[in-house]
Amino acid sequence: MAEKKGYVATSKFLIASPTKVRPVARVINQKPCTVAMAILANMPQKGAGLISATLKSAIANALNANDKLDEDMLYVKEIRIDEGPSLKRVWFRSHGRADQLLKRMCHITVVVDEKAGE
């Protein structure tokens, strides 16, 4: 029998470097959603706000799926931070030179699921 995937929410093309967002994601992976939201609310990083919005969407998707889920039983099953395209900008330097400035983007995917009966 195939394993159930869970309830998914995705945010794409967010202007934040994936390498800066991934450590924030590692903190909340496999935690209950209520605990994860509390942790993200108290983190100063920009990525915490981006992940929080995506997690709220995943929780809403799970609660509105007509499966009679309890919000307290939901946990973060999987969180994935993928690299998106980069915006290439000119960075002017001294002596008439120029460098390339990459504004990196990321895609955030959050999967929540209900804990097995305890």
In a domain, 14, yes or no: yes
CA 111 to chain CA centroid, Å, is: 9
pLDDT, tens only, 43-63: 999 999 999 999 999 999 999
Number of other CB atoms surrounding residue 83 within 10 Å? 12
CB half-sphere exposure, 27, CA atoms < 13 A: 18
Query: Is residue 28 a part of any domain in this protein?
Result: yes
> Is residue 1 domain-resident?
no
Specify the CATH number for the domain of residue 99: 3.90.470.10
Site of tokens 């509390």:
38
Number of domains in the chain: 1
Tokens 């108290």 -> residue:
42
Question: What is the pLDDT, as a whole number, of residue 4?
Answer: 62
21: helix, strand or coil: helix
In a domain, 66, yes or no: yes
82's enclosing H/E stretch is strand 74-92
> Does 98 map to a domain?
yes
The answer to whether residue 2 sits within a structural domain is no
CA dist 82 and 79 (Å) reads: 10
| pTM: predicted TM-score of the whole model, two decimal places | 0.89
Tell me if 108 is assigned to some domain: yes
Residue 50 domain boundaries: 7-114
Q: With pLDDT > 70 as the criterion, what percentage of the chain qualifies?
A: 95
